[in-house]
Amino acid sequence: MKIDVLTLFPEMFSGVLSTSMLGRAREKGILDVSLHNIREYSQSKHKNTDDYPFGGGAGMVMMPQPIFSCLDAVDPRHEALRIVFTPRGATLSVSMAQEFAGKERLLLLCGHYEGIDERAMEQMDCELSIGDYVLTGGELPAMVLIDCVSRFIPGVLGSSVSAEEESFSTGLLEYPQYTRPADYRGMAVPEVLLSGNHAHIARWRREESLKLTWRRRPELIAALDEGELDKRDREFLARLKNQEK
Ligand SMILES: C[S@@+](CC[C@H](N)C(=O)[O-])C[C@H]1O[C@@H](n2cnc3c(N)ncnc32)[C@H](O)[C@@H]1O
């Protein structure tokens, strides 16, 4: 996948893009990320990229010209799916990440200061937020998006790991995980995990997932389709609800 990032601060990306799974995905050529410094496209003498807001008010607004020129240079035929980060956008979800992972090309526009001139916003296909809080810029949201989309690109995660089996992809939160030693400072790992009985382990994991999701994110259980819970799941949830009444 090719991802173009339009930003005023390309230097913010270096650690995230060169480390761990993303670093390896780029080395293998599965992920091709190009950073474009919007400032280099400014036609003003001092390479300005922001100006005062019409109508007054605090802060500065990113000017349209450098963004339009950068878009013209990077994606002249509008072939990429263009995403801009803004608190007013739709909140990023695992289903969106899966959908984006199926695209050949993404273009990410990172805002800064008070935001972006609306005429530049209108050149984008999709407005995305990463949550109900305000960050200083769109660079961290862009890194969040690159990371979570990459997990759905074949070859990015090791072959034994599947993004499809993790929290949210199954509609539930993930069950607790343990590793060696089996007893640490008197805290023992649940016995079933040491039993070698795969059916029992799968059932224990399923019920722990249901329990955690029911307690922490009951709206996720309510949103599950009819077929996503079998008879045993429904009986388990009914018992849980009774116990916790
Ligand atoms: C300080 S914010 C601007 C906030 C804007 N004035 C508002 O009240 O909605 C600067 C930039 O950070 C990015 N940003 C901040 N919070 C974000 C969030 N929760 N999700 C996505 N992008 C965000 C956007 O690109 C935004 O243009």
**Which of the given ranges, 123-132, 160-169, 218-227, has the highest pLDDT on average?**
123-132
Q: What is the pLDDT of residue 212?
A: 97
The verdict on whether omega for the bond into residue 181 sits within 30 degrees of 0, i.e. cis, is yes
| Structural domain spans, the chain | 2-150, 170-243
pLDDT exceeds cutoff 70 at 26: yes
| Ligand 1, pocket residues at CB < 6 Å | 85-88, 110-112, 114-116, 129-131, 133-138, 141
Q: pTM (2 decimals)?
A: 0.95
* Tokens matching residue 43: 């036609």
Domain 2-150 has CATH 3.40.1280.10: yes
Say what percent of the chain tops pLDDT 70.
99
Using CA atoms, how far residue 180 sits from 18, 47, 111, 183, 214, in Å, is 30, 56, 44, 8, 28
64: number of Cβ within 10 Å: 17
170-243 topology per CATH: Trp Operon Repressor; Chain A (1.10.1270)
State the closest ligand 1 atom to the C-alpha of 116, by its place in the atom list counted from 1.
27
The model's confidence at residue 164, banded by pLDDT at 50, 70 and 90, is confident
CA distance 150 to 157: 8
Per-residue pLDDT reduced to its tens digit, 71-87: 999 999 999 999 999 99
Pocket-testing residue among 135, 136, 139, ligand 1, by greatest number of atoms within 8 A of Cβ: 135
pLDDT exceeds cutoff 70 at 183: yes
